[in-house]
Amino acid sequence: MLFYTVMKPVVRLGLRVFFRRLEVRHRERLRLPGPLMLCGNHPNTLMDPLVTAVQRHQPIAFLAKSTFFKNPVLGAIMRSGNCIPIYRRQDAEGSADGPTPAQLAASNEASFGRCYDYLERGGTVMIFPEGTSVSERRLRPLKTGAARIALGTEARHDFKLGLKIVCVGTNYFDPSHFRSDALLNVAPPIEVSAYATRYHDDPDAAADALTEEIRQRLTRRLVISHDAADDQLAQQVERTFGNHLNPDDDPDTLYDNFQLSRTLLDAVAWFEQHDPDRLTTLRAALTDYLAALEAHQLDDEALDQSQRPGTTRTDYLSLALGFPVWLYGVLTNYLPYKLPAEVAYRATQETEFIAAIMLAVGMLTFPLAYALEAAAVQHWLTHDWRLTLLFAASLPLAGFYALGYWQTLSARLRRVRVRRLPSPELVRLRQLRAKVLSLLDEAQAAYQRVE
């Protein structure tokens, strides 16, 4: 518990740096008094419990698969981080000295008992009923374990404990990339006591019914795709023309992006069934347009903005004046910035682990690099702790400035490449873009007529 208490503010800071925006819709539901069970989808392994835990003041106990506890070091971290092992049959299959089904059941009963005790003391337990983590915009079939724990806890108190279940839909907009966005979409609480009669009549049926309610609440708060090709098309449209389809009237919220993602997937599925020719035409036109942009190392924003007033002398002056600060930020932040991604992509090919590894490594590399740089400056340059402190404070500020400067510079360089295109090629790109936009507008109008 001490490790949990000490690391929580560190993780909160790490998440604020890692995500550009981490938005929580109905945050107050995550801060209801216990006993409380949190049920969430599980697309991003260790990142999923972290983004939820930092939103709640009280400690949370997490159910995690037993394989995380096999490594002595990782196991010690998991236990000190308030994690409870859950034993899955598939984790023991194929092992000659693996536990028998009876031993698995006994181990899980002990873990369930710890959950009962935690909840009875007014605590909070988080569980991921899918039972596994896969980086897809899907909700896999839910196991009944969460419902059984909740019902079993209440049954021990004649359904008068007051246990609630809060479902948390975690939506990542680009899960394996630094400075991406995430939305926690929190559902109203489920009163477990409402299942008392059904539990007394048939505990298994009550667990199935409660699991189904959890599934429905999560489904309404997630972006869910049912086909990989359709999901790819929806994401291409959203990332390229999202602002055209749904102008962001409130840039401070991600909920509009969430609604657009759901609408696009629903629309693609509808056209797949009712007007596949229109979808085929749109897919081909979009593929041609994106391929043409990639061939010239451009994006849609650069082509669109090339038709607007160009870069002013003031813009060039701000880039010139900001160059020394950018260079300072790069020199002092490059290694701790690059190492987390290098380690993550070398450590695993599984997308759902990338973000968690990057976060963990970054929480080590940045403090270590800053400490070494500050020590070097103190020893060889300043010999004054006050100046060294100012230098240390400037490091993260310079790093963020360098990141923003590079993004701005890259966008302007793309616009320069647009202006340098031969006139026939520029006309062709704009015609391809206009064709896609026309097809999207027609499809949008057709879909709105049937909604």
Q: What is the pLDDT of residue 175?
A: 83
Q: What is the pLDDT of residue 2?
A: 60
In the chain, count H helices and then E strands: 16, 8
CA distance 339 to 337: 6
> Model confidence over 5-63: pLDDT tens digits?
788 899 999 999 999 999 999 999 999 998 999 999 999 988 999 999 999 989 999 98
Closest C-alpha among 144, 135, 141, 192 to residue 166: 192
> Model confidence over 166-217: pLDDT tens digits?
999 999 998 888 999 999 999 999 999 999 999 999 999 999 999 999 999 9
According to DSSP, the residues that pair with 22 across neighbouring strands are 182
CB neighbours of 439 closer than 8 A, spacing ≥ 6? 278, 281, 282, 285
Residue type, 205: A
pLDDT-derived band at 256 (thresholds 50, 70, 90) equals: very high
Please check whether residue 62 is in contact with residue 93, taking contact to mean a CB–CB distance below 8 angstroms.
no
> Model confidence over 103-120: pLDDT tens digits?
777 888 888 899 999 999
Task: Name the maximum alpha-carbon separation found in the chain.
Answer: 78
Please say whether the dihedral angle defined by the alpha carbons of residues 184, 185, 187 and 192, taken in this order, is positive or negative.
Answer: negative
Please check whether residue 18 is in contact with residue 355, taking contact to mean a CB–CB distance below 8 angstroms.
yes
